Amino acid sequence: MNVIRHDWTKQEILDIYNKPMMDLLYEAATIHRQYHDQNTVQVSTLLSIKTGGCPEDCGYCPQAARYHTDIEGNDLMSVRQVKAQALRAKASGSSRVCMGAAWRNVKDGQEFEDVLEMVRTINKLDMEVCCTLGMITENQAQRLAEAGLYAYNHNLDTSEEYYKEVISTRGYEDRLKTIDNVRKTNVTVCSGGIIGMGEEVADRAGMLVALAKLSPQPESVPINALVAVEGTPMEEEKPVAIWDMIRMVATTRIVMPNTQVRLSAGRTEMTREGQAMCFFAGANSIFAGDKLLTTPNPDVNADMEMFKLLGLQPQKPFVKKAQPETVEAEDSKYEALGEKPKWTRPGHTIDRNETAKQKAKEIIEDK
Ligand code: SF4
């Protein structure tokens, strides 16, 4: 087996990314087979438990309150609603439920208590539970761990340099800090990014340098292709070429051999042949369900047909790591600390974000 390296340079990663396609595919598929069962793919269901109205300015995101998109916002779902959705996801073959809330960061209070109860409830259904709730403190990460959380998602999105062209309301270092807080618990880390936001290939390599440097490397790395939503600052971006996606997946697989590489947003734009090439290149996780938070995704039946065609099996839950125990709220050894950490707010101007915000204002004034 290849040794897991944390000292990749951007140039080394670029050299891999730019290899002749056949060499790249062969190398990635070889490593994939050394570390994983090549015919098994982990299937997650992403559930938007609180949609829209987000105070951040992520340039790709239709949930940012400052842009005008046709997203219908909703308050935090109830534990009962989440349980019903989780049961449905389990019945259709998902081993993991990932709950996403459009928050800047987690705040101690009733909503977080509800999320903890959702985690307990889903873990008791013997499904892996993942949350993506924005920045979290170590205490909040510990409380999630105690509730039975299996994974926490917090994406780096892109390279540190290009990040400044995407988001101005929180810094890259906060992303790393959140990942570090999660690492102090037994919760696994899910962190990846998005391609097709106007970045250079060097930025894709830069993001992989930052992820590979983490020790241990994230257990899961989602690779998203931008879904350019009307009204967001990135509405004009061209769809990502499938070859770029294949190269990115293969490079991620080579640089982080033991990680589950997740083919995430943008699958509706890919043919089955394109997705099959991604699986061959080392992707071994997908999101199922007809919505990815707010953007379209292939429906579960179409995915199961594709699995049958390719002879792929959905991965069983807790294959990579044992199921965490759930500690009930009354037995918890952690309490809400009511911390108010000073997460950064760089506040620089990103022209396209400003333009989209201005456009949104004009639309609202015209109404
Ligand atoms: S990506 Fe998350 S933090 Fe950024 S605007 Fe969207 S919901 Fe908010």
Residue type, 176: L
Residue 182 CA to ligand 1 center (angstroms) comes to 19
**Radius of gyration for the chain, computed over Cα atoms and rounded to the nearest angstrom:** 20
Place of tokens 């990103």: 350
Mutate to test the pocket of ligand 1, among 63, 152, 234, 295 (most ligand atoms within 8 A of CB): 63
> Which is nearest to 28 in space by CA: 356, 358, 277?
277
C-alpha to C-alpha distances, 261 to 129, 220, 244, 302, 360, nearest whole angstrom: 17, 6, 15, 21, 36
Residue nearest to atom 4 of ligand 1 (CA): 58
For the chain, the first-to-last Cα distance in angstroms comes to 61
Position 61 scores a pLDDT of 94
Q: Report the separation in Å between the CA atom of 312 and the middle of ligand 1, taken as the mean of its atom positions.
A: 33
Local structure of 157: helix, strand or coil: strand
Which one is catalytic: 131, 143, 175, 190? Answer: 190
Residue nearest to atom 7 of ligand 1 (CA): 102
> Shortest CA distance to 127 belongs to which of 87, 99, 100, 92?
87
Closest CA to 315 of 122, 155, 127, 129: 127
| Superfamily grouping for domain 21-319+341-366 | Aldolase class I (3.20.20.70)
Q: How many CA atoms lie within 13 A of 169 on its CB side?
A: 16
Q: From the CA of 170, give the closest atom in ligand 1.
A: 3
φ, ψ of residue 112 to 5 degrees: the values are -70, -35
Q: Which atom of ligand 1 is nearest to the CA of 62?
A: 6
- Residues 142 and 333: their CA atoms lie apart, in Å, by 10
Instruction: Pick out the chain residues at pLDDT < 50.
Output: none
Cα(178) to centroid(ligand 1), Å: 15
Q: Is 272 annotated as a binding residue?
A: no
Q: What is the pLDDT of residues 142-192, one digit of tens each?
A: 999 999 999 999 999 999 999 999 999 999 999 999 999 999 999 999 999
Q: How far is the CA of 61 from the centre of ligand 1 (A)?
A: 6
Token code pair at residue 180: 């570090």
**All structural domains of the chain with their residue ranges:** 21-319+341-366
Q: Which atom, in ligand 1's list, is nearest to the CA of 102? A: 7
58 is in an annotated binding site: yes
Q: Is 347 left (phi over 0), alpha (psi -120 to 50) or beta?
A: left
Q: Specify whether 278 is catalytic.
A: no
Q: Is the Cβ–Cβ distance between 159 and 202 less than 8 Å? A: yes
**What distance in Å separates the CA atoms of residue 143 and residue 218, rounded to the nearest whole number?**
20
- Ligand 1 pocket (Cβ < 6 Å) reads 54, 56, 58, 61, 63-64, 102, 134
Question: How much is the pLDDT for 292?
Answer: 55
Cα 64 to ligand 1 centroid, rounded to whole Å? 6
* Cβ atoms of residues 156 and 192 within 8 Å: yes
Task: Tell me which of 58, 170, 204, 253 is the catalytic residue.
Answer: 58
Residue 61 annotated as lining a ligand binding site: yes
Catalytic residue among 96, 262, 267, 278: 262
Catalytic residue among 96, 130, 131, 267: 130
* Annotated catalytic residue 61: yes
Provide the phi-psi class of 345: left if phi over 0, else alpha when psi is between -120 and 50, else beta.
Answer: beta
Known binding residue 131? Answer is: no
What integer pLDDT is reported at residue 297 of this predicted model?
63
| Known catalytic residue at 130 | yes
Distance from residue 158's CA to the centre of ligand 1 (Å)? 14
CA-61 nearest atom, ligand 1: 6
The whole-model pTM stands at: 0.95
